[in-house]
Amino acid sequence: MFHDHPLDRIFRPRSVAVIGASATPNSVGNVLMRNLLGNPFGGVIYPVNPNRRAVQGVRCYSNLAEIPDTIDLAIIAVKAELVPSVVADCVDKGVAGAIILSAGFSELGQAGRELEQRILAIAAGKLRIIGPNCLGVMHPLNRLNASFAAEMAKPGRVALLSQSGAVCTSILDWANGKNIGFSAFVSVGAMIDVDWADLIDYFGDDPETTSILLYMESIGDVRGFISAARAVARHKPIIVVKAGRNEISARVAASHTGAMLGSDAVFESAFRRAGVLRVSSIRDLFHMAEVLSMQPLPDGFRLAILTNAGGPAVMAVDALIAGGGQLAPLSAETLAALDAVCPPFWSHANPVDLLGDASPELYRQSFEILSRDPGVDGVLVLLTPQAMTQPENTARLLAPFARSVRKPVLAGFMGGRMIHASRAILSAAGMPAFDTPEAAVRAFLLLAQYRDNLRLLYERPDALPEGPPPRFDDVQRMVARARMEGRTLLTEAESKQLLAAYDIPIVPTRHCGSPEEAIAAAEQLGYPVVLKLESRVISHKTEAGGVRLDLRTPAAVREAFHAIQTAVIAYAEQHSIVGDIFTGVTVQPMIPAGGYELILGSALDEQFGPVIVFGTGGILTEVYQDRSWALPPLNRTLVKRLIERTRIYQALKGVRGRKSIPMADLETLLVRFSQLLVDFPDLGEVEINPLIATEERLIAVDARVMLTAQDSLISPRRLAIHPYPNQYTSVWEPDLSRLRATANRLPTGTTLLIRALRPEDEPLLENLFKTLSEHTIRMRFFRLIRQLTKDNLIRLCHVDYERELALVAIAELPGQGAQAVGIASFARDPSSDEAEFAVVVSDAWQGIGLGRELVSRLVSIAPQRGILRLTGATFRENLAMRKLCTSLGFTLHDTDDPQVLELRRDLLLMPPGSAFL
């Protein structure tokens, strides 16, 4: 029902205007014309230059308005200051797409950025723009070369998107030498309009593209990128090289968490969350595109190695362990089978060393045995050319396994001239063949990492245990009070109260303004106690001498109070700190030694918003450097993966006779912490350090919270990933007397909960489907489906709230628990302002207005998302659906199928300020 994609006019144009076409040799306008003319794409070329009558034999026009034809694509190669007027001409002419090659924009500073904003305002959504400051685009499959590159890319199945024109030309030269082809070759430039998300969506739907490769320097619209990547990565690999791994954004901050934050670590988290595979080099970029097109993904990181030489096997094992992989433990059955075919002196372990005289048949038999072992996630075959080796015969016997084994199989055939033919045999059969063990192992580990990233996209999280709702108002009042007082630093007592409002366990903490109050608090809490500085301007208490531990008497408390006061005043004078330096102390019980010291915190990244860090805490946090990062919002599955990426995770599970800490409680705590960050954009930096974890409990011993600066622009889109839309949760009271099923007769006043769907709802949807009659299933799905597959459930439940919304109606039935009784959803077409909707209600609950209620809510919500039209489809015979939709203002339209009608309703955009998060 959606129209042709707007970017088709850029990549598949029927007419192209070259504005700035030139006869000057080697100028951009001249090379561009030569490339277009030298690669006929089946369309018409119109040079535009007021100073020329013809360029390279083609009639030249003085301006766009003179061209008698409609123009699909304008390629702009004029001085930067002239570009706005040219863009205005394009809009007046009705041009659909433009590529701005010109430089002189944001790369030159503020004036250039203002020029870009002028261009964007003129285009106003009527003209899609690639660039400025780019090399151009190529679409080799239809021979379009709209670039000033020196060569034309060969046709292939890979879309390459690059933020660097220089890298583009280097890759093109390298790829042509390797005979690597492309479905598209795009230099994205400054991305003032068409960005990563637009291109990922476009090539994600392109049947001629099997994988999407990115060379990235910056990410631009973070939320758009992650949303598009998550949508496409489920069915098409997205592989990225991100330049700049150094932690250039690390800075002096009020918390350890802020100082830890590094740009590369955050990018890693974003790529992982988006299902994107990150590699470290251009060579790996193409290797992995090739490997992913040949081999399945492994179930884990356990690799079996088959070799005829010990040295290469050792190199492979080193690379495997260093990269986080594991040597697969061979089962007793596998070892016995290998014993039966191998010479007596084989290694009797993994790696399986067949010795230097291994025959092709021995390789084949051993490979087949290893591939059958359920504990093996992948097999790597290593071969070195020795006097007795038969590389080509070995390759021919192994080749049939390339696609018959349901796990990745790779080869590392080492050598030069003697090995070329055997590697070619394996590659042609679909078994990736590398020239070093390390390269082959790296490919296996990247496959395993990619499988992990994809699994995060659709793994159903466990539901959170029932608990008290967050005390949202308490936190709001606390933040407002600090703002009124002109503070961004909360005191430790306030910080802990903030955590407690989200049911994060804290050490009892009393604020005391005098020694007498401190002694009274110590008596109440019980000795021994800890005294800590309370200050509205000093963040690091230890550095200021503001902590005294293990105080066991009133005299010790009194002495500690005065000592802290004296030390802090001296510290403030030394560092020229002014303000409320000393407002008293906090008194807390001394936590007994034992357990693990963890850190849990967050800091704001300029591009990604809040980022969560978890790892080994305490005073040696920076020394151990054991931490992992994640982007909120988090569910229990994402939290588990966050914890598993730290080294301390193995200890937390129990080690050397110590029992495991309460892992489920830790997961719940991290999810609540994530929700706190989602709910309060004012929070700049939050740190719990240490968070003590023992066998019995978790408890936040110290906490520090900083608000964003008062004048900071707090955008609801500051979260890199769209949060769960709580605002659509409400109770609805239907007329239950009209229920179809007698068994569901319920007392008047029974209500339904209507809320947004969550990944945890898979079981509810599975049970809802079982209540649908064959007629209802056919009306909803346009065919009879016997059961929902796992893939169906994933598509339905794992909603990307950035571009989709699904509302589910839930009934709490006596003795039966929660049941989903209806669902309605829409999915936005990312290339337009339309969304397609659908609705289904359980047969037993039809006729009470539930379907109408759900669809009417979608109609109200859609304009908040910038959606101008809702469309749907229904069988002509589905009178109930037709009546429901016409009552809500939908119109009915014929389609190419005489049995199917299109449902359509145009909507009005909501006023500014009411936009959906």
* Selection from 91, 210, 273 nearest residue 641 by Cα: 273
Region of 528 on the Ramachandran plot (φ > 0 left; ψ -120 to 50 alpha; else beta): beta
Kindly state the tokens that stand for 134: 């780019």
Q: What is the pLDDT of residue 792?
A: 77
Instruction: Answer with the one of 458, 485, 507 that is the final residue of a domain.
Output: 458
Do 308 and 192 lie in a common domain? no
Distance CA 546, CA 532 (A): 6
* Selection from 432, 424, 439 nearest residue 279 by Cα: 439
**536 in a structural domain:** no
**577 in a structural domain:** no
Q: DSSP assignment, residue 726?
A: G
* Selection from 636, 637, 615, 632 nearest residue 624 by Cα: 615
Instruction: Answer with the one of 458, 482, 501 that is the final residue of a domain.
Output: 458
Distance CA 167, CA 187 (A): 9
Q: What is the pLDDT of residue 715?
A: 54
**633 in a structural domain:** no
Do 160 and 309 lie in a common domain? no
Give me the DSSP letters along 269-324.
Answer: HHHHHHTPEEESSHHHHHHHHHHHHHSPPPSSSEEEEEES-HHHHHHHHHHHHHTT
Distance CA 320, CA 155 (A): 35
Based on C-alpha coordinates, what's the Rg of the chain?
32
Q: Is the CB of residue 720 less than 8 Å from the CB of residue 630? A: no
Containing H/E element for 458?
A: helix 437-458
Neighbours of 525 (CB within 10 A): 18
**262 in a structural domain:** no
Distance CA 417, CA 33 (A): 43
Torsion sign, CA atoms 346, 348, 353, 354: positive
List of residues 6+ apart from 908 with CB closer than 8 A:
863
**917 in a structural domain:** no
Distance CA 340, CA 336 (A): 6
Do 305 and 157 lie in a common domain? no
Q: What is the pLDDT of residue 912?
A: 43
Number of domains in the chain: 3
Instruction: Answer with the one of 436, 458, 480 that is the final residue of a domain.
Output: 458
Do 320 and 187 lie in a common domain? no
Do 13 and 131 lie in a common domain? yes
Query: 123 is in which domain, residue-wise?
Result: 8-165+178-196
**248 in a structural domain:** no
Q: Is the CB of residue 535 less than 8 Å from the CB of residue 580? A: yes
CATH number for 370: 3.40.50.261
CATH number for 737: 3.40.630.30
Q: What is the pLDDT of residue 915?
A: 41
CATH number for 78: 3.40.50.720
List of residues 6+ apart from 684 with CB closer than 8 A:
488, 603, 604, 706, 707, 708, 709, 712
Q: What is the pLDDT of residue 917?
A: 36
SS (H, E, C) 400-433: CHHHHCCCCEEEEECCCCCCHHHHHHHHHHCCCE
**414 in a structural domain:** yes
pLDDT profile of the chain (917 residues), mean per 10: 74 96 91 94 94 91 94 96 95 96 89 93 92 94 93 92 87 84 93 95 95 90 93 92 61 42 78 92 88 92 94 95 94 95 92 91 95 96 86 93 92 88 92 93 95 85 80 93 89 92 94 94 94 87 90 95 94 87 92 88 88 88 84 92 93 85 94 94 90 92 86 63 91 76 58 92 91 90 80 82 94 82 94 92 90 95 92 94 94 94 86 42
Do 311 and 182 lie in a common domain? no
For the chain, the straight-line distance linking the first and the last C-alpha, in angstroms and rounded, comes to 27
pTM (global) more than 0.85: yes
